Amino acid sequence: MNTKELIKTLLNEKDPFKDIIGQDKAKQAVKSALLSNRHIIIVGSPGIGKTTLAKNIAKLLGKKTPFIRIQGSPDLTVEDLLGDIDPIKALKYGPLSIEAFTKGKIFKADKGILFFDELNRCPEKVQNALLQVLEEKKATIGSYDVDFDIDLIFIGTMNPEDTSTEKLSDVLLDRFDLIYMCYPENIHIEKEIVIKKGNKIDNIDVSDKLLELMIHFVRLLREDKNLEKKPSVRASLGLYERSQSNALLNKRKNVTFDDIKDVFISVLAHRIRLKPSIKYLQSPETYIKEQFEKNIIDSEVPEEKKGDLL
């Protein structure tokens, strides 16, 4: 898809990002950023659909548009991103010759999208090199200045709660528009995500009532003030899939409350982190078990709890 076609699609299609359910504000922001050709960073907790949204943008642009993915990690180097001088070729062709230069990933994204997942997990050096390329279309590799006459849309993702990461510098952030994604807006949207994206196992039936119960519990934990790491959509997907396989193992054709009881600790305990004030008193396993026993009974989610908050 060329730029003109993209603009037409963005303006005419009501929902060009069909792989993402809900998140209307984020979708609107992506549309407007793409229309003005701006670089963006999608910000949000793990498992809320950042990668899915970026992939949907790529899908929209079509197969002919390059979509190059870089996974941000502490051992990513400037050379991985930009390229490097190959010493053997440098000897053969001369050190300043273009043949001696092996292009890095960023070149492959020319006239397409550079998708930089978890940008804040890569070293500051890489962030600076990226900045230089996007800003000045130039970079310094070793003692060489290389021109980067490339044209791309940059889409990064970043998880603001990840403490093991580099902080993005203000100068870098100033070059991007930030688009925020949130947990699914309500239980109905999350249910739709789970049904559409979760795996159906051997035709095991999951009643609406029990599916709502699982998602209700996950959403309750997200509201819990004692948790510093909250369960994502992957937790809801996990409960949905594991309860089905548990039913299958018990030779049943439908999920029962007992299946949920059998699997919830294994699905949820490692997906939460208790705040330090409580961490030393209780393990996540015991905490989850207590919360389940306290809040979840074998009944429907009360109608008033299906409101926007939950």
Ligand X SMILES: Nc1ncnc2c1ncn2[C@@H]1O[C@H](COP(=O)(O)OP(=O)(O)OP(=O)(O)O)[C@@H](O)[C@H]1O
- Residues at the contact surface with Mg ion, assessed by CB under 5 A: 51
Token pair in block for residue 225: 């003030």
Check if the beta carbon of residue 202 is closer than 8 Å to that of residue 244: yes
Q: How far apart are CA 169 and CA 188, in angstroms?
A: 38
* Shortest Å distance, C-beta 47 to Mg ion: 8
Binding-residue pattern over the window 51 to 90 for ligand X, x denoting contact by CB under 6 A: xx--------------------------------------
| CA atoms within a 13 Å half-sphere pointing along the CA-CB vector of 6 | 21
Q: How far apart are CA 57 and CA 13, in angstroms?
A: 13
Among 48, 139, 153, 235, binds ligand X (CB under 6 A): 48
Q: Where are the alpha helices (DSSP H) in 140-283?
A: 170-173, 187-197, 208-222, 233-249, 257-268, 276-279
Q: How far apart are CA 163 and CA 108, in angstroms?
A: 31
Nearer to ligand X, 22 or 284 (CB): 22
CA quadruple 96, 99, 100, 101: dihedral sign? positive
Binding-residue pattern over the window 232 to 271 for ligand X, x denoting contact by CB under 6 A: -xx-------------------------------------
* Shortest Å distance, C-beta 16 to ligand X: 14
Nearer to ligand X, 51 or 128 (CB): 51
Instruction: Choose one: 20-28, 31-39, 99-107, 287-295; the region binding ligand X (CB under 6 A).
Output: 20-28
Number of residues that bind ligand X (CB under 6 A): 18
Nearer to ligand X, 50 or 78 (CB): 50
Does 188 sit near ligand X (CB under 6 A)?
no
Instruction: Choose one: 50-58, 80-88, 144-152, 210-218; the region binding ligand X (CB under 6 A).
Output: 50-58
Does 20 sit near ligand X (CB under 6 A)?
yes
Does 26 sit near ligand X (CB under 6 A)?
no
Site for ligand X in 191-230 (CB under 6 A): 193, 197
Using alpha carbons only, give the angle 285, 287, 291 rounded to the nearest 5 degrees.
Answer: 120
Helix and strand counts by DSSP (H, E) for the chain: 14, 11
Token pair in block for residue 176: 């991007």
Check if the beta carbon of residue 24 is closer than 8 Å to that of residue 17: no
Beta carbons within 10 angstroms of residue 118's beta carbon: 20
**Which does residue 22 bind out of ligand X, Mg ion, none, counting CB within 5 to 8 angstroms by kind?**
ligand X
* Shortest Å distance, C-beta 115 to ligand X: 11
Nearer to ligand X, 16 or 184 (CB): 184
* Binding residues vs ligand X (CB under 6 A): 20-23, 44, 46-52, 159, 184, 193, 197, 233-234
